[in-house]
């Protein structure tokens, strides 16, 4: 056998072994997700919610809110905070819309709604100020 061909085959065998090793490590690492269906869905939603809040992704919070409301109009136990923050973010967005349209009647009604929802925020009251800042600074 040609010496150059033998070197190339040896290199291919080493590369194949490295790829096999990488795939095995990846597979073993994915075992922690094997029992994902047994996890508490409320706790999973809350951890996603906390992540979204840390990154000020209020659009994602609202998206989760609308998707969840398609299936359960009333919030499930433990998800009330998500609903309240999303409702406040929606009301804040609508306040900007009404202000730009010059609709004073709807703007006043929405201001009352915002205040009501703001009072229900509890531990997440800080999000109201963040949402207001985002809406105020939007182009």
Strands (E), 14-120: none
C-alpha to C-alpha distance for 86 and 57, rounded to whole angstroms: 11
Predicted confidence (pLDDT) at residue 12 exceeds the cutoff of 90: yes
Q: Model confidence over 95-107: pLDDT tens digits?
A: 989 988 898 899 8
Decide if 135 contacts 96 (C-beta within 8 A).
yes
- Residue 38: what pLDDT? 67
Q: Model confidence over 14-67: pLDDT tens digits?
A: 999 999 999 999 888 777 666 655 667 777 777 888 888 888 888 888 888 888
Radius of gyration of the chain (CA): 25
Decide if 124 contacts 84 (C-beta within 8 A).
yes
Mean pLDDT, the chain, integer: 85
Q: Which residue has the tokens 């998206």?
A: 63
Predicted confidence (pLDDT) at residue 126 exceeds the cutoff of 80: yes
List the one residue out of 80, 92, 100, 97 whose CA is nearest residue 56: 92
C-alpha to C-alpha distance for 81 and 130, rounded to whole angstroms: 16
Q: Other CB atoms closer than 10 Å to residue 63's CB: what's the count?
A: 13
């Amino acid at each position: 056998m040609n010496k150059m061909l033998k070197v190339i085959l040896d290199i291919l065998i080493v590369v194949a072994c490295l790829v096999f090793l990488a795939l095995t490590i990846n597979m073993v690492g994915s075992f922690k997700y094997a029992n994902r269906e047994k996890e508490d869905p409320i706790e999973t939603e809350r951890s996603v919610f906390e992540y979204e809040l840390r990154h000020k992704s209020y659009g994602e919070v609202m998206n989760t809110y609308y998707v969840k409301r398609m299936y359960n109009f009333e919030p499930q136990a433990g998800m009330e905070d998500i609903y309240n923050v999303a409702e406040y973010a929606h009301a804040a967005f609508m306040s900007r819309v009404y202000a730009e349209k010059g609709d004073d009647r709807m703007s006043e009604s929405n201001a009352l709604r915002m205040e009501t929802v703001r009072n229900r925020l509890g531990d997440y009251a800080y999000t109201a100020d963040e949402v207001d800042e985002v809406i105020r600074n939007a182009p």
